[in-house]
Amino acid sequence: MAYLLRLPAKRVRPIATLMACELFDGDVDRAMEAAMGIELFHSFTLMHDDIMDASPLRRGRPTVHVQWDVNTAILSGDAMLVKAYQCMAEDSRALSVFSRYALQVCEGQAMDMAFERQVEVTADAYMDMIRRKTAVLLACALEVGAILAGADAAQQTAIGRFGEQLGLAFQLRDDHIDAFGDPSRSGKQRGGDLRAGKKTWLLIRGLGLERGRGSSTLADQLRMPSISRDVSAMIEGLISLGARDESEARIKALESEAMAQLEAVDTANDRKSPLRSLAAGLMGRVA
Amino acid sequence: MAYLLRLPAKRVRPIATLMACELFDGDVDRAMEAAMGIELFHSFTLMHDDIMDASPLRRGRPTVHVQWDVNTAILSGDAMLVKAYQCMAEDSRALSVFSRYALQVCEGQAMDMAFERQVEVTADAYMDMIRRKTAVLLACALEVGAILAGADAAQQTAIGRFGEQLGLAFQLRDDHIDAFGDPSRSGKQRGGDLRAGKKTWLLIRGLGLERGRGSSTLADQLRMPSISRDVSAMIEGLISLGARDESEARIKALESEAMAQLEAVDTANDRKSPLRSLAAGLMGRVA
């Protein structure tokens, strides 16, 4: 547990909890435990997801199941989930929201694994998967902060929606960068998702556009074993089909929706600055 | 989750929660959710322990990681732990007790796995391990029932100790039956633990007694690969060393302590009958 928690991390989610608490004029010290609970839960999901995805590296270091073994990673994740609950236990409303979202995160991971075995995944199904797997925890972090500050139900909902839209945009941008980003800045090999045949929104849209035109560059590449795939040709295909532009437009639309939700929150305008900066950071540009 | 929960089971722990609630004149209906939470937590530990122990069978049926796969078992266990918390969330005192014991259960499993790699395990360390891994959850089940009935701290402690001692006795009896029980009644192959070299209290005591006498039947057998071990000779060794008698005496002593704790609880005597019957059942005899 300590090994994973000590790896460098942005701590976006617990910071979001504290910012949401401050936004609604709450006592940040009272939200500190819950913020830690959110980060412990996030770390628990990383520890177990890395086992399930057989990931060798996390934040540039060996994953727990590689550094120790699978059993240690299973059990440490379990203990971390219990510790997350210990941090979340003080407020029963926050606890109830947390559990509801925690189940959705499990469902999202189940969907993600199921999609690997499915031939056909729709764009809507992919969006629903990343909503559960990624976006709802940011929504949860913000809602919990709002609850602890005593915000009313409408405000909890608004700030939660801001987090959900922002989380969706963040994941789509992550997928986008995988194909079109600068590998020296992203720290990832370009086209790793395409090589693996991961059915991202981008690839699903590309396949749909391709079918509409009666061509089959992407589909042909996907039928090959992953080692033989021409990832550059797939990237070129996505660009010429217009999938890159669609993806960028979709990300921008989600980001706008997120910011609109934040602006709709009924508090003094200048109180929203920290969350605007946090969102801008997640969107990959400086506020 | 449904597959594991539908396998035949005795439901000792949730029944214990309801009985403890009734013992202190509580509303059993109000304890029902918490009782289900205890059983869900127990099922979560079975699902993950079966992965860690690479167990092919649970209650005579394929384990979840065999019937589906390891990832499904990890994730279903995680979701079950969240659902356990959803059931436990209503009472904050019960929740706090539950989390404290849940961490001990994780620690007990960690100790159990560590002992497999350790050459020397002391009898005290073994007792500490089974206390965490097995006994505390029965204590937790009873304490939660008492808390929900509004029992005071002293009564919570007394009923918890009853559960802990009973749980210890139950595990030692389980180990005892593995070596000396009637396989047709226990449903297990005789001496499975000895074959596997599991460092139970019984085997640890046998090795200690043997060393005191300067003999080495058990130690010699343990140095052999497990497939070559003469399990009958090990059982005979345990009997002639007096380890069987010591084990039986220890179990009886723990059972007596457990029953003394129950008698010390300050309620009308006839209210204790259900828990006396439950204990008698766990002790392998009819009340």
DSSP assignment of A49-105: HHHHTT-SEETTEE-HHHHS-HHHHHHHHHHHHHHHHHHHTT-HHHHHHHHHHHHHH
Asked if residue A170 belongs to a domain, the reply is yes
pLDDT at res. A94: 97
- Computed from CA positions of residues A203, A204, A208, A214, in that sequence, does the dihedral angle turn out positive or negative? positive
CB-CB under 8 Å, A52 with B106: no
Written as one letter, the residue type at B265 is V
Quickly state the pLDDT bin for A287 (edges 50, 70, 90).
very low
Quickly state the pLDDT bin for B67 (edges 50, 70, 90).
very high
Asked if residue A279 belongs to a domain, the reply is no
Cβ pair A70, A9 in contact under 8 A: no
Cβ pair B158, B261 in contact under 8 A: yes
Shared domain for B25 and B145, answered yes or no, is: yes
Tokens (6 digits) for A178: 């995988």
Chain B residues touching A86 at Cβ < 8 A: 96, 99
Q: How many domains does chain B have?
A: 2
A174 backbone φψ class: left, alpha, beta (φ>0; ψ -120 to 50): alpha
> Residue B130 class from Cβ within 10 Å (0-12 exposed, 13-18 middle, 19+ buried)?
buried
pLDDT at res. B189: 76
Q: What is the Cα–Cα distance from A139 to A143, expressed in whole angstroms?
A: 6
Question: Which among B70, B81, B96 has the least Cβ separation from residue A89?
Answer: B96
In this model, does residue A18 exceed pLDDT 70? yes
In this model, does residue B59 exceed pLDDT 80? yes
Of B236, B252, B258, give the one whose Cα is nearest residue B173. Answer: B252
Last residue of a domain, one of A123, A151, A179: A151
Mutate to test the interface with A, among B45, B50, B51, B106 (most CBs of A within 10 A): B106
In this model, does residue B161 exceed pLDDT 80? yes
Chain B residues touching A43 at Cβ < 8 A: none
pLDDT at res. B113: 93
Chain A residues touching B82 at Cβ < 8 A: 81, 99, 102-103, 106
In this model, does residue B74 exceed pLDDT 90? yes
Shared domain for A157 and A92, answered yes or no, is: no
Cβ pair B197, B222 in contact under 8 A: yes
Q: What is the Cα–Cα distance from A265 to A262, expressed in whole angstroms?
A: 5
Quickly state the pLDDT bin for A186 (edges 50, 70, 90).
low
Asked if residue B217 belongs to a domain, the reply is yes
In this model, does residue A62 exceed pLDDT 70? yes
Asked if residue B211 belongs to a domain, the reply is yes
Three-class SS state of A40: helix
pLDDT at res. B186: 64
In this model, does residue B286 exceed pLDDT 50? no
Asked if residue B114 belongs to a domain, the reply is yes
Q: For residue range B44-54, list pLDDT tens digits in order.
A: 999 999 999 99
pLDDT at res. B133: 97
Q: What is the Cα–Cα distance from B137 to B158, expressed in whole angstroms?
A: 15
Q: Is B79 on the interface with A (CB under 8 A)?
A: yes
Chain A residues touching B68 at Cβ < 8 A: none
Element containing residue B58 per DSSP (H, E):
strand B57-58
Domain extent at residue B129: 10-150
How open is the CA angle B80-B82-B88, to the nearest 5 degrees?
A: 105
Chain B CA closest to residue A92: B89
pLDDT at res. B104: 98
pLDDT at res. A280: 93
Lowest mean per-residue pLDDT among A154-168, A185-199, B249-263: A185-199
Phi, psi of A27 (to 5 degrees): -85, 110
pLDDT at res. B35: 98
Shared domain for A50 and A134, answered yes or no, is: yes
Q: What is the Cα–Cα distance from A120 to A135, expressed in whole angstroms?
A: 23
CB-CB under 8 Å, B89 with A99: yes
For chain B positions 43-62, those within 8 Å of chain A (CB to CB) are 44, 48, 51-52
pTM above 0.90, yes or no: yes
Q: Is B96 on the interface with A (CB under 8 A)?
A: yes
Q: CATH number for the domain including B114?
A: 1.10.600.10
Residue showing tokens 């059942």: B281
Asked if residue A254 belongs to a domain, the reply is yes
Angstroms from A82 CA to nearest CA on chain B: 6
Q: What is the Cα–Cα distance from B274 to B278, expressed in whole angstroms?
A: 6
Asked if residue A282 belongs to a domain, the reply is no
Tokens (6 digits) for A8: 């460098």
Shared domain for B144 and B159, answered yes or no, is: no
Shared domain for B135 and B199, answered yes or no, is: no
Average pLDDT of chain A, as a whole number: 94
Shared domain for B46 and B141, answered yes or no, is: yes
Chain A residues touching B140 at Cβ < 8 A: none
Shared domain for A128 and A28, answered yes or no, is: yes
Torsion angle (degrees, nearest 10) of CA B258, B260, B261, B263: 130
Chain A residues touching B71 at Cβ < 8 A: 51-52, 113
Q: For residue range A208-248, list pLDDT tens digits in order.
A: 999 999 999 999 999 999 899 999 999 999 999 999 999 99
Shared domain for A246 and A221, answered yes or no, is: yes
Q: Is A273 on the interface with B (CB under 8 A)?
A: no
Q: For residue range A77-121, list pLDDT tens digits in order.
A: 999 999 999 999 999 999 999 999 999 999 999 999 999 889 899
Shared domain for A141 and A163, answered yes or no, is: no
Shared domain for A146 and A243, answered yes or no, is: no
Of B52, B54, B53, B41, give the one whose Cα is nearest residue B4. Answer: B41
Shared domain for B55 and B135, answered yes or no, is: yes
Shared domain for A132 and A253, answered yes or no, is: no
Question: Which among B48, B99, B103 has the least Cβ separation from residue A74?
Answer: B48
CB-CB under 8 Å, B52 with A74: yes
Q: What is the Cα–Cα distance from B98 to B112, expressed in whole angstroms?
A: 21
Asked if residue B222 belongs to a domain, the reply is yes
Chain A residues touching B48 at Cβ < 8 A: 74-75, 78
Question: Which among A77, A89, A103 has the least Cβ separation from residue B99?
Answer: A89
